[in-house]
Amino acid sequence: MSLFDMTGQVALITGSSRGIGKAIAEEMAEQGAKVVISSRKQDACETVAAEINAKYGAGTAIAVAANISSKEALQHLVDETRRAFGKITALICNAASNPYYGPSEGIADEQFRKIMDNNILSNHWLIHMVAPEMLARCEGSITIVSSIGGLKGSTVIGAYCISKAADMQMARNLADEFGPKGVRVNCIAPGLIRTDFARALWENPDTLARSTARSPLRRIGEPEEIAGAAVFLASRAGAFTTGQTLVIDGGQTVSGG
């Protein structure tokens, strides 16, 4: 059996109707996992779930819409996952938001709170809804999709970067708490990836050129290039990895880009 095989696993992936989350769901299904597709809109979730079921077999994926700002919606997501598949073995907290682009002095209180609530508090809620069953089984993996923004300063997405740095610390704290029961918690910190979420940073060719000029690979990343790391962390390949932030950025952070 491959170290990356996920047969028998059930993966709940937030923000998985497009971009990085969708790529993670598709690759985990490829490796044999059952997957739960979740984002705000049910029709978008159903479209992705149908594509996965058509490729990997009926019953591989289900669609459950959830607004991450609602604790009740997240509990419903967890309950529906358990109802459909009986358990959750891998949680991937990928959904996030960033409603403000500009210097910190201009951000409104409600925008700052939305970033902190959606990017930190929602992960805290969801993890603690799922963790008890993992701890009871003495196995499971939790992955938070953070960002290299959490490792760098920024003059335009400062609050977002604060939230992503907090996610890294959350992973370290929970890895320490959950580790004795065999449950692993890690982060993935992507660089610039070709997603709708980051469209403002790559759609304009001049902006893209500036964003990648100091990256050793001199290019933007693709969603599937993050998916492999998520499979690694959720599979036997990552069984001795916890409390870590796996940076996948084409070398941008090491070059000073």
> Nearest 5°: phi and psi at 61?
-130, 145
- Cβ count within 10 A of residue 132: 9
Q: How far is CA 64 from CA 35, 48, 132, 225, 247, in A?
A: 11, 11, 21, 25, 29
The reply to whether 160 belongs to the active site is: yes
Q: Choosing from 56, 100, 101, 160, which is the catalytic residue? A: 160
**Which amino acid type is present at position 226?**
I
Nearest residue to 133 (alpha-carbon basis) of 70, 62, 99, 182: 182
173/183 Cα distance (integer angstroms): 12
- The H or E element containing residue 10 is strand 10-14
By annotation, the residues acting in catalysis are 160
